[in-house]
Structure 1
Amino acid sequence: MKVNPRKKAPGRAGYHHGDLRRTLVRIARDQIAESGADAMSFVSLARLAGVSQPAPYRHFSDRKALLEAVTTEGFEEFAAALTAAAAAGGRDGALRAMALAYVAFGEANIELYRLMFASRLVPEAGTGGALETAAVEAFSRLREALSPTTPADRIQEEAQLIWAQLHGLVMLKADGHITRPLAELVEVSRLFKPS
């Protein structure tokens, strides 16, 4: 039996995939959620996307560029969650609502969260790039929530202290040191209640 060289292998979409960039980010996020960022490879991404092994390189120069895209998307979703929480919490409850949204995002997306906050991607991101912009935007949400009740010269410091406490809660839970739902701890914390 002769094989037609122009016929694609069964189940293989070839390069003309539609929005391959978006598909690769989605598959990468799935792999990261399942096994962590260290387990993600371009070979497995190409296989799961049904494209040739070189195809991902048409959209991402290397693995780090893909991880930056995933992390940027994570920060955009994180900022959106904080913004929605602040709006729902109103002036007096915005900070508490954001704290609840923060820990909920961390618990639901722990491997993505680790990539966002426990990797060198953000500190090494280029100034003004998409990743740095998305990370700063997320932090700005907390600063904005503090601005009505905190002296201007203390907003940055207070935001960093709150961020560090929430980050610590998420990481302690992820590493098995806290077993309670983090929302319970936020609810009893005096830090996130209106004064």
Structure 2
Amino acid sequence: MKQIVDAKTSGSRKTYHHGDLRKVLLDAALMEIATHGAQGLSMASLTRRAGVAQSAPYRHFSDREDLLAAVATEGFVRFTEVLLEAASNGDDVTALKRMAIAYLAFGEKNVELYRLMFASGLVSGAGSDSALKRAATSSFQPLLERVTASDPESSLISAHVRWGQLHGLVMLKADGFIHDPTEALMGVLSF
């Protein structure tokens, strides 16, 4: 987080100007969500964590829901990048398995972000042409493409079932119902 100190001061308080305030706010929101969950995020807690004025977030986000939608959008973009990277790091035969492992690892490392992305209702309430809806839809494409490559006949249904398995495992692990390591789980899944 890069901060540039303004030479102007009022009393003993220095003012801070951020080169990319939107990114600073999104990063601060991600940290706050990771620590306290999305329900714990308020605009006041965000401004404290980011070290900016209380009015600063409103330059980029109309309200808390707009901010959460932007965080979820960034989460889906990162999630898609993780899946694509996993698919490209090896042969085509094991690409789907590598993606499944990457999916589970992303969910485990980013539990609260994952909940915001998949369990908050933000996507279902987003407009069909919103950045959030596009990012969420795009995150399914790598899995669909890999499943289609291996099973063209029932690709969409097969992709949905595999997605459901992975999503269920992430949520059950996050809620403390499953404690098995990812490697053990992958041994019994059909990936």
Contact 2:76 2:139 in 1 (8 A): yes
Match of 2:158 in 1: 158
C-alpha distance 92-66 of structure 1, shift in aligned 2 (>3 A): same
What code does the residue aligned with 2:85 have? A
**Mapping of residues 72-151 of structure 1, within 5 Å:** 72-151=73-152
1:178 matched to which residue of 2?
178
**Residues 9 and 15 of structure 2 are in contact (CA less than 8 Å); yes or no, is this contact kept in structure 1?**
no
CA RMSD of superposed structures (Å): 1.6
**What SS does the corresponding residue of 1:126 show, helix, strand or coil?**
coil
- The sequence identity of aligned pairs, in percent, is 50
Q: How far apart are residue 184 of structure 1 and its match?
A: 2.2
Q: Which has the larger share of strand?
A: 2
Unaligned ranges ≥5, structure 1 = none
Larger radius of gyration: 1
Q: Calculate the TM-score normalised by the size of structure 2.
A: 0.91
Deviation (angstroms), 1:12: 4.4
Residue identity matched to 2:52 = V
What residue identity is the alignment partner of 2:113? L
Tell me if the contact between 2:73 and 2:135 (Cα under 8 Å) persists in the aligned partners: yes
Q: Kindly state the Cα deviation for residue 9 of structure 1 after the two structures are TM-superposed.
A: 5.2
TM normalised by structure 1 equals: 0.89
Q: How far 1:48 sits from its partner (Å)?
A: 2.2
Any idea what the Cα deviations from partners look like across 1:100-120, whole Å, max 9, x if unmatched? 000000000000000011111
How far the C-alpha of 1:10 sits from its partner, in A, is 2.9
Whether contact under 8 Å (1:71, 1:116) holds in the other structure is: yes
